[in-house]
């Protein structure tokens, strides 16, 4: 699109150059300038010469001095407009061309309106980066070219410039449409990015929350496992201590049983010895030994057996009493 605009821009500049040259010649031969004093005419001729040489500052100075001598000459405003246009001071050029419209010369009026179109079109080209402003300037150019055509329907340059300005507007509208579409796409992309970012942020937040919950669950599980392990360790320690106490009690009981058995054996031996001694004393007292009958021997042996069974039963009772489980308070 920019290559097309540059081609059109060159075409409009060629049109400008032709029209400005014509404008200068007309300005140099303006009726008001001929009616002015010879000094004013001399200034106009001086300005035209400087203009054609591209010495625009000198031309502008000469036209201003001529305008002092002929303040009611709209041709001088037109000439000054040409200088401002060439120096790209479009605001001043528009002001001067509008001032030239005060003329009664239809030819000068037509050229002033045409150059107002040139000014607007040049401003449109300067505003290509501001699409809407460029479109407005191009529309103003068409408006002025059509005014020139109303005064001179045979002005082929005005008709060609209208077509050029219309094509420029079309290109600018296409550009504006693409810019709007691009802006809309950029906005959509921005919204999509924001939504994607929000989604990622939400996912990250959910993941963090999930990790935090998992961490809490893991910590609780570890605490519970640690608590269970401590409880198991305590129970095992209690069992070990209880087993040690039982083993200690069994050892003490066994020791007591052994001591009791020794005492019982000693008592039995002492009793037998005492019985034997009594029998010996009785026999000695009678002067002769006495033989026991079979029935007495059996009763004596049975008595010994009964005493022995009684002692064993007592020992067993004492042993069972000592082996009873110990109730712990912990």
d(CA 325, CA 264): 27
Rg (CA), the chain: 68
Q: What is the pLDDT of residue 291?
A: 66
Strand blocks (E) in the chain: none
Please report the pLDDT score of residue 250 as a whole number: 78
Measuring CA to CA, how many Å separate 171 from each of 90, 123, 165, 176, 206?
Answer: 23, 16, 10, 8, 51
Three-state SS across 118-156? HHHHHHHHHCCCCHHHHHHHHHHHHHHHHHHHHHCCCCH
**Which residue, chain included where needed, has tokens 């409880």?**
231
Asked if residue 128 lies in contact with residue 148, where contact means CB atoms within 8 angstroms, the answer is no
CA dist., res. 116 & res. 23, Å (int): 13
pLDDT at 21: 31
Of 117, 161, 159, the closest CA to residue 140 belongs to 117
Backbone angles phi, psi at 105, to 5 degrees: -85, 110
- Who contacts 165 (Cβ-Cβ below 8 Å, separation ≥6)? 117, 121, 124, 138, 139, 141, 142, 145
CA distance 166 to 139: 8
Residue 72 — φ and ψ, nearest 5°? -100, 20
Q: What pLDDT score does 284 carry?
A: 65
- Could you tell me if 121 and 161 are in contact, meaning their C-beta atoms sit under 8 angstroms apart? yes
pLDDT of residue 13: 30
- Return the structure tokens found at 154: 């045979």
Per-residue pLDDT tens, the chain, 330 aa: give them: 222 333 343 333 322 332 233 333 333 334 444 444 688 889 999 999 999 999 999 999 999 999 999 888 999 999 999 999 999 999 999 999 999 999 999 999 999 999 999 999 999 999 999 999 999 999 999 999 999 999 999 999 999 999 999 999 999 999 889 988 998 999 899 999 999 999 999 999 989 888 888 888 888 888 888 888 988 888 888 888 888 878 888 777 778 777 787 777 777 777 776 776 777 666 666 655 556 678 878 888 888 888 888 888 888 888 777 666 655 555
Measuring CA to CA, how many Å separate 3 from each of 151, 165, 168, 169? 34, 16, 12, 15
Domains and CATH numbers, the chain: 2-175 (1.25.40.10)
Residue 19 CA to residue 9 CA, distance in Å, equals 15
Tokens 């095992």 label which residue?
A: 236
How far, in Å, CA of 34 to CA of 45, rounded? 11
């Amino acid at each position: 699109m920019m290559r097309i605009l540059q081609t059109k821009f060159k075409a409009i500049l060629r049109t400008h150059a032709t029209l400005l040259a014509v404008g200068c010649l007309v300005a140099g031969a303006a009726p008001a300038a001929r009616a002015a004093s010879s000094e004013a005419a001399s200034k106009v001729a001086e300005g035209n010469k400087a203009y054609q040489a591209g010495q625009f500052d000198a031309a502008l100075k000469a036209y201003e001095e001529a305008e002092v001598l002929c303040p009611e000459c709209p041709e001088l405003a037109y000439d000054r407009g040409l200088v401002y246009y060439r120096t790209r001071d479009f605001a001043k050029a528009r002001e001067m061309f509008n001032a030239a419209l005060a003329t009664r010369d239809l030819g000068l009026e037509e050229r002033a309106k045409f150059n107002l179109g040139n000014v607007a079109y040049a401003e449109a080209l300067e505003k290509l980066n501001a699409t809407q402003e460029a479109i407005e300037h191009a529309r103003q150019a068409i408006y002025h070219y059509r005014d020139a055509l109303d005064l001179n329907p045979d002005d082929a340059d005005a008709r060609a410039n209208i077509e050029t300005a219309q094509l420029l507007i079309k290109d600018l509208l296409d550009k504006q449409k693409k810019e709007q579409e691009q802006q809309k796409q950029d906005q959509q992309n921005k919204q999509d990015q924001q939504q994607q970012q929000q989604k990622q942020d939400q996912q990250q937040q959910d993941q963090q929350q999930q990790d935090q919950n998992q961490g809490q669950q893991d910590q609780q599980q570890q605490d519970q496992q640690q608590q269970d392990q401590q409880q198991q360790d305590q129970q095992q320690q209690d069992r070990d201590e209880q087993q040690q106490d039982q083993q200690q009690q069994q050892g003490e009981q066994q020791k007591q049983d052994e001591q009791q058995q020794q005492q019982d054996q000693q008592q039995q031996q002492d009793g037998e010895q005492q019985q034997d001694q009594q029998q010996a004393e009785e026999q000695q007292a009678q002067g002769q030994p006495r033989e026991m009958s079979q029935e007495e021997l059996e009763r004596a042996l049975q008595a010994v057996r009964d005493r022995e069974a009684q002692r064993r039963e007592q020992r067993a009772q004492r042993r069972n009493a000592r082996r009873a489980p110990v109730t712990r308070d912990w």
